[in-house]
Amino acid sequence: MNTFYALSLIRRSLIVRFAPALVGLGLLSQCTDQVTSTVRFHRMTPVYTTTQEIRDAVSVQPPQAIRGTGKIFTHGSYLFLNQPGDGVHIINNADPTNPQSISFINIPGNYDLAVQGDIMYADSYIDLLAIDISNPEAIRVLHREENVFPQFNSFGFYPDAEKGVVTRWEEVDVVQTFEGEIDGSMWEPGVYQYIDHLDIAEYARYDFVEQSNVPVWEMNNANVTPVGRGGSMSRFAVSGEHLYTIDDSNLQVFDISSASTPTSVNEMMVDFMIETIYPHDNKLYIGAQNGMYIYDKTVPESPMLLSSYWHATSCDPVVANDTLAYVTLRTGDACEGDQNVLEVVDVKDARAPYETARYEMEHPHGLGLDGTTLFVCEGEFGVKVFDVTHTYEISDYLISRIEGIYAYDVIAHDNHLLVIAEDGVYQYDYSDPEHIVQLSKMTRLAL
């Protein structure tokens, strides 16, 4: 199932029929023309699935063909690949040159995931699941935190919770005929066109811990439970004993000190059109279509807004280190942007971030940072690799590029690069960044 992006849209054709012309000024002065209007449009009607049906459908199944590439998460020698709306592929990646799919977790309405220790956290429409992955050959659901997320594809529409969850939309042709002329009042409430979006689910509800490509757990404590790694398009982030999630406008905090039973402990409004979340040190960087928000999480259950950094309306994944944040902006229907750029933002003072450099790109999507090496997905233009040692000369230090793929997002760590692309998942060795070597490709099934 693809992600749906809501737009208010009615397509109409108008037929107006006039009565035969009347002859004679006397008659015209006594008669009024009759106007009949016919309106044709396509109404998108919600299709509900009961919450019980959704919850009963979660199951572990044999390996399946990859039908969509969404979020990906690495943990130990395993990859967890989200198939937007459907569930998670479990892949043994002990040998990156020959990854082996070992099972598929069927999770209706799944778009995001995060892993800490032996527990995977995954959304299922309105619920949060805690799943035991200690034995990837025998996965089991430990806990379901119910009704903690809003209905993901109901933008501009108020679903009837008693009917369940809106899981898809069905197009119905409607013809209405009435007396009189058409005016603005004919825009009926509840008529929406939901448009299939990219399979990367970048506008998905929690597209969507993909907390990018540097270690995302605090190492202040040697006993801290290891967290996996994800990409820059994430809407889930694990840090210490807390899971942070975002929807289109809110930041929600879950206590996972008891890992198998996550509990919602706080929720706060950030702004409209927020898209990604990236934790670094004691901060959360939240990317939005109109800017970036920096939160302090020194008190983990109550993140505090430090600052807002504004930019032109556009899609906005972000990664950061101690002093700089890297932000990409791009054009596109869902992004509403008119720029394709990489912004470098000084965040040494998190209360007063400012743009320190800007570089023209072709069509930038997700990005990943490993030390001083920055990987930028350029959509249909592949992946560009930069040495970012010289902040003001990054464009002069394009050291390599990967071409021939439509790249959405990356995970880069310890000379191992994972690229999420339109047609599958690619793995590369970048021990020599100037000569990147492809290790393998897991191909998406042609649809």
Q: How is residue 96 annotated by DSSP?
A: T
* 181: Cα separation from own chain's centroid: 43
Task: Tell me 393's DSSP state.
Answer: G
More confident residue, 193 or 68: 68
Q: How many CA atoms lie within 13 A of 322 on its CB side?
A: 2
Residues 6+ apart with CB under 8 A from 84: 1, 2, 3, 68, 70, 110, 111, 199, 200, 201, 204
Helices (H) and strands (E) in the chain, counts: 2, 35
Cβ proximity of 292 and 309 under 8 Å: yes
* Structure tokens that stand for 214 in this block: 């540097």
Tell me what pLDDT residue 151 has. 67
pLDDT higher than threshold 90 for residue 306: yes
**Among 94-108, 129-143, 217-231, 313-327, the least confident range:** 217-231
Edge-to-edge order in the sheet of strand 119-124: 113-116, 119-124, 127-132, 140-145
Q: What is d(CA 198, CA 364) in angstroms, rounded to the nearest whole number?
A: 15
Is residue 167 a contact partner of residue 151, using CB atoms and an 8 Å limit? Answer: no
Q: How far apart are CA 229 and CA 75, in angstroms?
A: 7
What residue spans define the domains of the chain? 4-49+151-196
Give the number of other CB atoms < 10 A from CB of residue 191.
18
Please name which of 42, 364, 350, 74 lies closest in space to residue 228, comparing C-alpha atoms. Answer: 74
More confident residue, 388 or 215: 388
Contacts of 136 (CB under 8 A, 6+ apart): 78, 90, 92, 102, 103
Summarize the confidence of residues 276-289 as an average pLDDT.
93
Give the pLDDT confidence score for residue 230 in this predicted structure: 80
pLDDT at 189: 43
List C-alpha distances in Å: 10 to 43, 70, 192, 288: 8, 30, 7, 28
Name which of 6-20, 73-87, 218-232, 410-424 the model is least confident about: 6-20
> Which residues, in sequence order, are CB contacts of 438 under 8 Å at separation 6+?
426, 427, 428
Q: Which two tokens stand for residue 400?
A: 């390599």
Report the Cα 169 to chain-centroid distance in Å: 20
Say which residues have a Cβ less than 8 Å from residue 36's Cβ, sequence separation at least 6. Answer: 16, 17, 177, 178, 179
Rounded distance between C-alpha atoms, residue 93 and residue 167, angstroms: 32
Query: Exposed e or buried b for every residue in 162-177, given b needs 16+ CB within 10 A?
Result: eebbbbbbeeeeeeee
Percent helix, strand and coil across the chain, each rounded to 5? 5, 50, 45
- Residue 390: what pLDDT? 93
CB 191 within 8 A of CB 12: no
Rounded Cα gap, residues 237 and 287, in angstroms: 13
Residue 5 has pLDDT above 80, yes or no: no
* Residue 283 confidence (pLDDT): 96
Average model confidence (pLDDT) across the chain: 81
